[in-house]
Amino acid sequence: MILGVADHPSFEVSLEGFLRFASKLKVSVVELKLDRPELLSALSKTSMIIRIKDLLSSYTFKYFVHAPSIDINLASLNPSLREASEKTLLKAVDFAAKTNAELLVSHVGRLSRDYPRKLVKKSMENAIYSLETIVQASNDLGVLFTIENDHKSSDYVLAGYSEQIRFLIENVGCKFTLDVGHANTVGKIEDFTKLLDKFIVNIHIHDNNGIEDEHLPIGKGSINFVEMFETMKGWLRKRPLIIECHSFAGITKSIEFVKQSFLSKQR
């Protein structure tokens, strides 16, 4: 199994502090969250990116990058906001290329519930238009671009259900990061693995009770991870599992759970 951990801007340590924490866990992949303020400020500054690259190279991890998602909406009906979101994503692609990250994860965006439902189609068209540009830039720079499934929301979700993800992938030509916790809030996780199996290149794991996106430690919600690991064991050996809890304690507990419930069976 390829096991990794994801950074998050809520962690009250520096990027270097998070890398030291990840190193102690003996994982092989670190997913960098560009919403972290010190990384956000580096997006337009080559000198800062070089310093970050030097820091990253002092560890032996493989690196993935999660593009900014806070305040970002590729599906916005406001042209200025959509264009600003697209430019931010293009900077994230450049950051990933310059730091030798192997993969980039991006959210798609939503349509605010304050708009009428009939505008969902236009919002989806906006997202596709921007994603096509971003995917092309990623291909040009040798970065594998993926979209991530969204969780349940009071807004109109454009990338929450497996059919929506399939539609987007077929229109823009990208790959898929399956977020198991998000999938649990909208339906059956199996719907994603069956319909989108050939597109999945990265997997986010965290737990919840099926109602909202809680990012609980694995085993503390309603997802039957033992059953999931058993069902998916064939391709889990080849596709990275990235633990995405929002506390160090949650990450540590989740690592222990995975090792006990999956890795021990492989010996």
pTM of the full structure: 0.96
Q: Is the pLDDT of residue 266 over 60?
A: no
Give 18-67 pLDDT, tens digit per residue: 999 999 999 999 999 999 999 999 998 999 999 999 999 999 999 999 99
Q: How many helices (H) and strands (E) does the chain have?
A: 11, 10
- Identify the CATH assignment for 3-266 out of 3.30.420.40, 3.40.50.300, 1.10.3720.10, 3.20.20.150: 3.20.20.150
Measured CA distances, 241 to 32, 203, 205, 218 (Å):
14, 5, 7, 12
**Residue extents of the structural domains in the chain:** 3-266
How many Cβ atoms are within 10 Å of 131's Cβ, its own excluded?
A: 26
β-pair type (110-111, 156-157): antiparallel
Q: Which of 210, 235, 233, 232 is nearest to 220 (CA)?
A: 210
Distance CA 98, CA 217 (A): 32
